[in-house]
Amino acid sequence: MTSQSADDFRLTVLNPGGRDPEQQFHHPLALGEGAHPPINFHGFAACTLGAFHRDPRRAIAEDTPVLLLLRGDFRDSERALSDLKKHGRTVAVSLKETGLHQIAQQLCERRKLSRFMKILAQADGCIATTPEAAEIYQRTRWSLRRVTFIPTPYPIEDQRWDFSMSPNEQSGILVGTREWDVPSRNHFAALLVARELCEATGEPVTVVNLNGRKEERLLAQLKFPEGKLRVIEKRKAYPDYLRDVAQHKIVLHLDRSHVPGQVAGDALLTRIACVGGDGAIERIAFSKTCGEGRTITEITSMALDLLKSADLRAAIVAESQQRALERLSFQAVRSQLATFFAQFGER
């Protein structure tokens, strides 16, 4: 695949029956532009200047290869795949929710599993946003050699998406997870670590609570030092949320879900250090501070060192930016997508 053909590559992402509206990414998005920020699966469309649709007819009209997302009971996805193939489109598929716990939840029903197996048998290939999902796709359809892991991209190279702040303006710890009731998130344990770090350093802690009184009561039980706990209680536009993230010295979490890694993606756009977590982006960009293969005690120690040393934080951020440019930037992921789809030839 030449650089010229990679530059010409366009991809349509189709989420049949989903709630996200049609969105064209025919030019790089400025802040606040478009219905959805250019991240997660929208990032695949955005990095190729392609489109994101929920109506199969509109996806067919784009006349490009398609990444078909599998969601719900997979009925809409199954019908969409049939329509796309009738019109000669090259179709790769991916589960829309790809954390290990999410894959397990989706495929524990016989009918859904049957549709999933049928879809994989008919698709041209699979794109996985985590290495673990790639292994599952490969083992589900043993004859399918056209499986690839491609991480979700972030517009690292676009200065309009640089939310960095001066180190002198940063303070405290942001807890990156929010879900108390998902065991693999380890949200309670992350809050305990954050409280310990707060007591050791005096750094304030920020958490996100969009679920009201129940989580307020849970947080109250942890008894953070007086005046050291800040709670974000309203959902914000993505750029506004990133401005909140950028005010912190580190983002901390203990997630063991092997998700794509938006917590680390947010850290990349805000140029702060991400500590803990085993998402795909954590492992690529923050390999020295991620949670893969590390104990909670080791993660706590790393976080403490980072809170105490601006130079150490700067070194981790610099390394993460370099790795992101090489593997996670729009240009890098666009090239990976173009190379993957090139094997299928013209349709």
∠ at Cα 53 (48, 54), nearest 5°? 150
Model pLDDT for residues 199-231, shown as the tens digit of each residue: 999 999 999 999 888 899 999 999 999 999 999
Model pLDDT for residues 166-193, shown as the tens digit of each residue: 999 999 999 999 999 999 999 999 999 9
**Strand, helix or coil at 36?**
coil
Q: What letter represents residue 300's amino acid?
A: T
Element (H, E) at 326: helix 310-327
Reported pTM: 0.94
Model pLDDT for residues 245-255, shown as the tens digit of each residue: 999 999 999 99
What is the pLDDT averaged over residues 230-256? 96
CA dihedral of residues 306, 309, 314, 319 (deg, nearest 10): -50
More confident residue, 5 or 151: 151
Same fold, 3-153+329-342 and 159-326: yes
Q: How far apart are CA 252 and CA 205, in angstroms?
A: 10
Q: How far apart are CA 214 and CA 189, in angstroms?
A: 18
Q: How far apart are CA 332 and CA 256, in angstroms?
A: 26
Tell me if 5 sits within 8 A of 340, measured CB to CB: no
∠ at Cα 291 (214, 37), nearest 5°? 65
Per-residue burial over 64-91, b if 16 or more Cβ lie within 10 Å, else e, is bbbbbbbbeebebbbebbeebbeeebbb
Model pLDDT for residues 58-84, shown as the tens digit of each residue: 999 999 999 999 999 999 999 999 999
What's the CATH number for 3-153+329-342? 3.40.50
Residue with tokens 């790089």: 28
More confident residue, 142 or 6: 6
Instruction: With cut-offs at 50, 70 and 90, classify the pLDDT of residue 4.
Output: very low
Q: Quick one: tokens of 83?
A: 């329509």
**Strand, helix or coil at 347?**
coil
The residues spanned by each domain of the chain are 3-153+329-342, 159-326
Of 265-269, 300-304, 343-347, the range with the lowest mean pLDDT is 343-347
- Average pLDDT of the chain to the nearest whole number: 93
Instruction: With cut-offs at 50, 70 and 90, classify the pLDDT of residue 35.
Output: confident
What's the CATH number for 159-326? 3.40.50.2000
